[in-house]
Amino acid sequence: MSEKTYSTAELMACVMSRHLQDGEVAIMGAVSMIPMAACRMAQETHAPNLYYIAGGSGAVNPHLEPLVFSSCDDENLRSDAAMALPDVILLEGHGKRLDVFFGGGLQIDKYGNCNLVCIGDWDKPALRGPGTVGLPFLPRAGRVVIYTTSHNARTLVEKVDFNSGPGFLDGPEGWAAKGLPGNGPALVVTPLCAMDFDEKSKIMRLKSVHPGVTVEQVVENTGFKLIVPEHVPTTPEPTETELKALRQIDPTGVARNLI
Amino acid sequence: MSEKTYSTAELMACVMSRHLQDGEVAIMGAVSMIPMAACRMAQETHAPNLYYIAGGSGAVNPHLEPLVFSSCDDENLRSDAAMALPDVILLEGHGKRLDVFFGGGLQIDKYGNCNLVCIGDWDKPALRGPGTVGLPFLPRAGRVVIYTTSHNARTLVEKVDFNSGPGFLDGPEGWAAKGLPGNGPALVVTPLCAMDFDEKSKIMRLKSVHPGVTVEQVVENTGFKLIVPEHVPTTPEPTETELKALRQIDPTGVARNLI
Amino acid sequence: MGRTQKLMSAREAVSHWVGDRCESLAVGGMHMHNNPMALIREIIRQGKKIKRLITSPSADINADLLIGAGLVEEILTAYVGFEHLGLAPNFRRAVETKSMRLLECDEPFIVYGLQAGAGGLPFIPYPKGLELNDLHKINPEMYRFTTDPYTGDEVMTAAPIKPSVALVHCQEADPYGNALFKGSEFTDRQMVMAADTVIIQAEKIVPDLARKYGSTKVNVPGFLVSAVVEAPYGCHPTSSHGYYTFDEAHLKEYIKACKTPETFAAYLQHYVTGIPEEEYAGRIGTERLQALSKRGESE
Amino acid sequence: MGRTQKLMSAREAVSHWVGDRCESLAVGGMHMHNNPMALIREIIRQGKKIKRLITSPSADINADLLIGAGLVEEILTAYVGFEHLGLAPNFRRAVETKSMRLLECDEPFIVYGLQAGAGGLPFIPYPKGLELNDLHKINPEMYRFTTDPYTGDEVMTAAPIKPSVALVHCQEADPYGNALFKGSEFTDRQMVMAADTVIIQAEKIVPDLARKYGSTKVNVPGFLVSAVVEAPYGCHPTSSHGYYTFDEAHLKEYIKACKTPETFAAYLQHYVTGIPEEEYAGRIGTERLQALSKRGESE
């Protein structure tokens, strides 16, 4: 990978950016440098009417030149508008306001459930994570985009030890029965690949492998039986336009240098 | 009454002002020129630490020089602070935030219940009033101060046709059983007199008659059997200090000229 | 690619975004302040029927004019009046003659209900003691009771309010719908957050609103807004906080005009149906409007 | 008669307004921003025990330092971490070793709970779907279920949160407790509205705050505030919106110091218990603090 003209984090930002449609509203929480870069990039390329909300700061469309580390930084308030946090919570609960909710976790399972709470039993955790924050709202967002910077079998697991951010729960029957306003997880972006979910089984499915990554590598590093279609394309590399936008947004490499 | 150096509205403001203690928090709604004058006056005389909130404007301690007509006027926002209306509603619900709530109505009954909704049956009203607004919060305020500019038997009635602002409900037993955070109605101020409530029976009781008014006049103009103590003092006239403060606050007579 | 602007005329905005029989229409402003009168007059011009009119906790001419125009089938309100100027003539008449259905509620019902509507909350339970008035007796559909799971007590609840359309006046907006209130917000922002469709009228369109005021002041985000209408003096005869005060003489003239069907029809013809909204300010008179303008900004 | 000022030193404010075993202490700020560190350090100096620590939806060193100092019996939180800098060392250790009781909740629980606490509401029912995570299974005391009286559905609820004391950082305050946030408010204002006692620390005391900014910006009314402490750089090592950014190097030093009891004790001694709060800024160094200051105001 030494010859690449872009970093893995930048490629992940491109995958997310391409997923965002013009006119949509997206939201993200803590440690969201890649999603924030992706949203700004989408605005600068194909989605000028995209709105995005930088989590706890309540900022709507941070101008982010340059990108910053913290989702609650006051630099985010150089923005089109800003809402008080309790109002952001109302938006998240509404059910029809947010098209895309960026989520993630210490563990992500095959149905797209996320866990930010603990590894092992909640009562005697092997590792205590930070907590659920706003992930319980996932079932009320139009689509969930899950991302992680660690694609391995400890992160991508058969079943989360604690469900703090519901995906398709225990599968299609249980999910359908709930009649939720959201459509559940739509995309998973990792350093190795992009994944979506099988329409019927609601199980995670390989969508594209990043340049230089093999399907076998992905399968090996995934802790559950991933659905692998016959033909798996390679994730298109960042275009010049995309890279130009990204580097204007993130000149110092806040996102780029992550992975 | 032609020789008086003050108007009835000014005397009413004095009675209210004297009731307010230093350090308390008071609130009022629409058409509250007299209570607003009273609060400002209290601040300028004996209660510099009184806080008051001008209803729907959310203004905290409007400076009001001069007094204005509307509780929601932006002139009220020349103030120490201002809260959004939904936050004022939270304050009103809290149960321990507001010491004094100014109320009133088309009808006020012997237990201090107020009616701003209708005269006659709700379903086929003889007169339709404006509506309850925030009066349902009365049971959660420390004390309720009721005022009216019409002291007559149509306004002061045995029982309200519609209870939109609860006082002592149907009397002491029912009231006590509710275990409410507020202490109920404490004072009634009219153009003829000041009244409080008998501790035991919770029925309205004559407290003082305004200069030039007789006890008989009050009794005649009251639509229920008012408790009349053996000795009924005369409401002390406005002092020079009070009048000076009042006229500084209300030079154009917004409150003064009401009655 | 460029961003899509949402600017349009009052006529276009109402014609495009309000159905001919609007399921539920929320009108912003409180008492004689910040009433979105330019849009309301346009609703009347276009004869849009309103199945349910939803007001702020204290409505004024915003509701009374629509009622007078015969467009309102039912109203959800806690107060319609003219504060120190007296009762609301058309509201009063319509309720007393039962020509309009009244869904009577209190101020917290509107605030809680919009909050619930905005946040997807199934209802809001009331603080204890707020069930002691008579409202739930005459509106049992909307005021219901459930169990407080922490105490076992029975508690009264407010139903969610989700207006299909909200008409709101902001003092300033940008072309994308981001907007701000210069003075009090009343329940206008809650209406914006709870409604399916929002039309904003603004005194002034300011391209770089957030730079001018700081983004935290711009607390109506554009993605909640469907259309922005530039409407200088668009609250007249009510006030626009920070811009101009209410026109007391006009409000009195209005109340007087409501006394008979003939005088009310003449009022409507003169100020509403007989002219397009663009001519309204001229009909009132520039000098008069300027006299209502604030000496300075109140904040 | 004059108005009573509420200005006092951090020492006086904590000593006077916080009990030796505080029933429930809410600490403001979110992530590495607006943490009321001057007051928190003073809590540690005075060894105030905290029966229940309540955090904003995302706590940082505000909670972690109190936990490290061994003062916290139980914590109600939805997140303690250092965002891009990693996990919260003392929080993690205390939970993994069970030396502190954890009342686990989510972000809406804190927001709804404070709202209910502020407004006297018996509880807030959740939007449908928020019961699908595992939280209510491990915290059934706080997450309970009742019936939606409008649909008959079972709905999950959040209990009211009423902190006995809230510590909140405002950028500016007047001597009477009226105060404002220059940037994001997070849940700080909700804490102010829900708590019995509020201590505000402020970068600057401004006598005529409302005239400077307009009263609608001054949305913490003084009557809710018991004490005001002037605390320039009082959020360090976290940021104070509009004044200075967070000290990333110091936060990393802190996280490193938490690795062993000895290094943590040395950190505490050096920055907290060994000096009065007035000497803290000097210990960090004026140049360093000035380097963290914003070039201009972000709004």
Same-domain check for residues D142 and D21: no
Same-domain check for residues D206 and D286: yes
Task: Report which secondary-structure segment, H or E, holds B143.
Answer: strand B143-147
In a domain, C273, yes or no: yes
Tell me how far the alpha carbon of residue A91 is from its chain's centroid.
19
Same-domain check for residues C165 and C154: no
Cα nearest neighbour of A124 on chain D: D96
Confidence at residue D1, expressed as pLDDT on a 0 to 100 scale = 65
Residues D61-70 have a mean pLDDT of: 98
Cα nearest neighbour of C191 on chain B: B86
Tokens 């072309």 identify what position?
C175
Residues B233, B210: Cα–Cα separation, whole Å:
9
How far is D57 from chain B, CA to nearest CA, in Å? 20
Cα nearest neighbour of D96 on chain A: A125
pLDDT at B252 over 60: yes
Residues C118-172: pLDDT tens digits?
999 999 999 999 999 999 999 999 999 999 999 999 999 999 999 999 999 999 9
Mean of the per-residue pLDDT values for chain B?
95
Q: Select from D3, D120, D221 the Cβ nearest to the Cβ of B95.
A: D120
Judged by a CB distance cut-off of 8 A, whether residue D201 touches chain A is no
ipTM, two decimals: 0.96
Q: At what angle do helices A240-249 and A33-44 cross, to 10 degrees?
A: 120
DSSP E strands: which ranges in chain C?
21-27, 49-55, 72-77, 101-104, 124-125, 144-147, 154-158, 165-173, 179-180, 197-205, 227-230
Structural domain count, chain D: 2
Residues of chain D in contact with residue A169, where contact means CB-CB under 8 angstroms, are 132
Residues D80, C201: Cα–Cα separation, whole Å:
43
Residues B78, B27: Cα–Cα separation, whole Å:
17
Q: Select from D32, D80, D83 the Cβ nearest to the Cβ of A131.
A: D80
Binary contact (B85, C130; C-beta < 8 A) = no
Q: Select from C160, C215, C299 the Cβ nearest to the Cβ of D299.
A: C215
Q: Between 3.40.50.970, 3.30.530.20, 3.40.1080.10, 1.20.120.530, what CATH number should domain B8-249 receive? A: 3.40.1080.10
Judged by a CB distance cut-off of 8 A, whether residue B166 touches chain C is yes
- Note if the pTM is more than 0.95: yes
Same-domain check for residues D72 and D147: no
Residue spans of the domains in chain B: they are 8-249
Residues B153, C284: Cα–Cα separation, whole Å:
43
How far is D148 from chain C, CA to nearest CA, in Å? 7
Check which CATH number belongs to the domain holding C248 and give it.
Answer: 3.40.1080.10
Confidence at residue A2, expressed as pLDDT on a 0 to 100 scale = 45
Which of B89-103, C3-17, D6-20, D283-297 comes out lowest in average pLDDT?
Answer: D283-297
- Name B7's Cβ contacts closer than 8 Å, sequence gap at least 6: B253, B256, B257, B258, B259
pLDDT at D245 over 70: yes
Neighbouring chains of D at 3+ CB pairs within 8 Å? A, B, C
Same-domain check for residues C151 and C273: no
Judged by a CB distance cut-off of 8 A, whether residue D55 touches chain B is no
Residues D17-36: pLDDT tens digits?
999 999 999 999 999 999 99
Same-domain check for residues C14 and C43: yes
Residues A48-77: pLDDT tens digits?
999 999 988 999 999 987 888 888 999 999
User: How do beta strands B185-189 and B193-197 pair?
Assistant: antiparallel
User: How do beta strands B100-103 and B25-28 pair?
Assistant: parallel
Confidence at residue A251, expressed as pLDDT on a 0 to 100 scale = 87
pLDDT at B72 over 90: yes
Best C132, C216, C240, C244 member to test B by mutation, with max B CBs in 10 Å, is C132
Residues of chain D in contact with residue A57, where contact means CB-CB under 8 angstroms, are 183-184
Domain that holds residue C151: 122-158
Residues D127-167: pLDDT tens digits?
999 999 999 999 999 999 999 999 999 999 999 999 999 99
Residues C108-117: pLDDT tens digits?
999 999 999 9
Which has more pLDDT, C259 or A254? C259
Tell me how far the alpha carbon of residue C165 is from its chain's centroid.
10
How far is B231 from chain D, CA to nearest CA, in Å? 34
Confidence of residue C193 (pLDDT cuts 50, 70, 90): very high
Same-domain check for residues D189 and D101: yes
pLDDT at B35 over 80: yes
Same-domain check for residues D189 and D133: no
Same-domain check for residues C72 and C150: no
**pLDDT string in tens for chain A (259-residue length):** 446 789 999 999 999 999 999 999 999 998 899 999 999 999 999 999 999 999 889 999 999 878 888 889 999 999 999 999 999 999 999 999 999 999 999 999 999 999 999 999 999 999 999 999 999 999 999 999 999 999 999 999 999 999 999 999 999 999 999 999 999 999 999 999 999 999 999 999 999 999 999 999 999 999 999 999 999 999 999 999 999 999 999 888 888 888 8
Judged by a CB distance cut-off of 8 A, whether residue C190 touches chain B is yes
Residues of chain B in contact with residue D189, where contact means CB-CB under 8 angstroms, are 87
pLDDT at D10 over 70: yes
In a domain, C287, yes or no: yes
Confidence at residue D298, expressed as pLDDT on a 0 to 100 scale = 42
Binary contact (A77, C216; C-beta < 8 A) = yes
pLDDT at B41 over 50: yes
Residues of chain D in contact with residue B82, where contact means CB-CB under 8 angstroms, are 215-216, 218-219
B positions 191-250 inside 8 Å of C (CB) = none
Same-domain check for residues D147 and D185: no
Same-domain check for residues C143 and C235: no
Same-domain check for residues C141 and C168: no
